[in-house]
């Protein structure tokens, strides 16, 4: 494989923005990949995969390269040289890259791969937290979380079916498989930019992880219901709910971020979802008028996001111990407040994209002990394992409000 200077430099620029400026990896890549219009799909793929790999294995590569944050530009080139060497790529004779001790790099890799925190490239505190929470399954989950995430689409049933979508995409040179057990999903055989496809522009699908696609179905909605999505964000699950409800009934999508709801409106228009109304949460007044009025309530709670590390590898370096405690408190507060929207005999789904029991089943156990929680019963709960499924880690609990 021949390395091209402009692509390597673009990757190093992106790493500088992610590591030193603390910018979000996906947003940095979106910006960097627009830098040169002459880059083809293969060029963009090289930059994206190189950057994500180095972000994912930052601790391991830093240890091998003997560099520490904040990274100077020569340090970033050293990280790149480690990445390339471990992939058997010949390093060009550029002045930016120091002479590379190939044998020493491979020797250090073999040595460090015997120690989990280096092998899986994870901060000490997060490794200890995961091990304490998940015991022997932590090793398997961690390895799965460090694998590259597959690209999964959700066929929009308001426009098409998975079978038809598969045929349409095949005509556009995008090959997919239908994963078993996911009624709306298609998985790409090879990573491609699906956002430029006509099928995407026509609202035939959204990109949504297979585990995430299970949340809306877990809520057990039906056409004609009033459903409130309390942490709607940009609307991945909201749009799925609209499709499951066949555009009948009402979905009230709420969030504290107006910008996210604007993006939801844009996506809803493309998807042909007409039963969604967006509302910004400015204070408790924004939702108190809905107390005991909803057939279904979805709380897709803010969380550590630990189950999504395979698609957000920079999360490993951004998470901090104090955030874990704060987010657990926030989840409990939202459960207390937003469960009041559920009417008698109505249902609530609490979901996170975390695999930590304290954010999940323990959080629900604690809620059910509170005065508010005693009005509910737990119908079922499910933890989705990245190791067992190959997709994101998720948790879902379905609660029913008791009759008054």
DSSP letter string over 186-201?
EEESS---GGGSHHHH
Distance of CA 263 to the CA centre of its chain: 17
Cis peptide before 70 (omega within 30 of 0): yes
Distance of CA 391 to the CA centre of its chain: 10
How sure is the predictor about 78, in pLDDT bands with cuts at 50, 70 and 90? very high
The radius of gyration of the chain from alpha carbons, rounded to an integer in Å, stands at 23
Residue corresponding to tokens 């709801």: 261
The per-residue pLDDT for 1 is: 83
Please write the tens of the pLDDT for every residue from 183-204. Answer: 999 999 999 999 999 999 999 9
Contact 224, 174 (CB under 8 A): no
Q: What is the mean pLDDT of residues 232-237?
A: 98
- What's the CATH architecture for 5-121? Orthogonal Bundle (1.10)
Distance CA 304, CA 20 (A): 22
The pTM of this model reads: 0.96
Please write the tens of the pLDDT for every residue from 267-317. Answer: 999 999 999 999 999 999 999 999 999 999 999 999 999 999 999 999 999
Distance CA 370, CA 190 (A): 48
Transcribe 343-401 into DSSP letters: EEEEEEEEEES---TTTTHHHHHHHHHSTTGGGEEEEEEEEE-HHHHSS--EEEEEEEE
Active site residue 353: yes
| SS3 label, residue 215 | helix
Contact 391, 211 (CB under 8 A): yes
Domain at 152-207: CATH code: 3.30.70.1170
Distance CA 6, CA 271 (A): 38
Judged against a pLDDT cut of 80, whether residue 144 lies above it is answered with yes
User: CA angle at residue 278 from 404 to 342, to 5 degrees?
Assistant: 10
Judged against a pLDDT cut of 80, whether residue 404 lies above it is answered with no
CATH of region 214-401, choose from 3.40.50.150, 3.20.20.70, 3.60.110.10, 1.10.10.10: 3.40.50.150
Catalytic annotation, pick one of 216, 268, 353, 355: 353
Please write the tens of the pLDDT for every residue from 110-121. Answer: 999 999 999 999
Q: What is the mean pLDDT of residues 235-246?
A: 98
Q: What is the mean pLDDT of residues 45-68?
A: 97
Domain boundaries in the chain?
5-121, 152-207, 214-401
Lowest-confidence region among 7-11, 91-95, 178-182, 385-389: 91-95
The per-residue pLDDT for 403 is: 87
């Amino acid at each position: 494989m021949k390395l091209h200077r402009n692509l390597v430099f673009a990757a190093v620029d992106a790493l500088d923005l992610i590591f030193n400026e603390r910018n979000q990896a996906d947003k940095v890549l979106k910006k960097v990949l627009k830098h040169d219009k002459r880059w083809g799909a293969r060029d963009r793929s090289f930059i994206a995969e190189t950057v994500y790999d180095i972000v994912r294995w930052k601790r391991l590569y830093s240890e091998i390269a003997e560099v520490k944050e904040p990274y100077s530009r020569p340090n970033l080139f050293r990280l790149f040289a480690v990445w390339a060497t471990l992939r058997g790529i010949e390093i060009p004779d550029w002045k930016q890259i120091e002479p590379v001790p190939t044998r020493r790099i491979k020797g250090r890799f073999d040595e460090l791969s015997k120690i989990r925190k280096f092998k899986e490239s994870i901060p000490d505190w997060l490794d200890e937290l995961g091990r304490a929470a998940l015991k022997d399954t932590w090793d398997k989950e961690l390895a799965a979380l460090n694998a590259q995430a597959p690209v999964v689409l959700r066929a929009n049933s308001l426009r098409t079916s998975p079978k038809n979508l598969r045929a349409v995409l095949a005509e556009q040179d995008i090959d997919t498989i239908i994963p078993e057990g996911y009624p709306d999903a298609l998985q790409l055989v090879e990573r491609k930019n699906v956002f430029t496809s006509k099928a995407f522009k026509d609202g035939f699908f959204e990109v949504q992880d297979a585990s995430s696609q299970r949340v809306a179905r877990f809520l057990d909605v039906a056409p004609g219901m009033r459903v409130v999505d309390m942490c709607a964000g940009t609307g991945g699950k909201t749009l799925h709910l609209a499709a499951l409800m066949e555009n009948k009934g009402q979905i009230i999508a709420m969030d504290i971020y107006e910008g996210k709801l604007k993006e939801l409106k844009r996506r809803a228009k493309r998807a042909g979802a007409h039963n969604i109304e967006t509302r910004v949460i400015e204070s408790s007044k924004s939702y108190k008028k809905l107390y005991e009025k909803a057939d279904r309530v979805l709380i897709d709670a803010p969380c550590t996001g630990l189950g999504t590390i395979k698609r957000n590898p920079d999360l490993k370096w951004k998470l901090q111990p104090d955030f874990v405690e704060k987010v657990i408190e926030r989840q409990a507060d939202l459960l207390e407040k937003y469960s009041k929207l559920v009417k008698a005999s109505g249902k609530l789904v609490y979901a996170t994209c975390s695999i930590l029991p304290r954010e999940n089943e323990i959080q629900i156990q604690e809620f059910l002990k509170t005065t508010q929680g005693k009005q509910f019963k737990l119908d079922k709960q499910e933890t989705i394992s990245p190791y067992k499924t190959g997709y994101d880690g998720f948790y879902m609990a379905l609660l029913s409000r008791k009759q008054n």
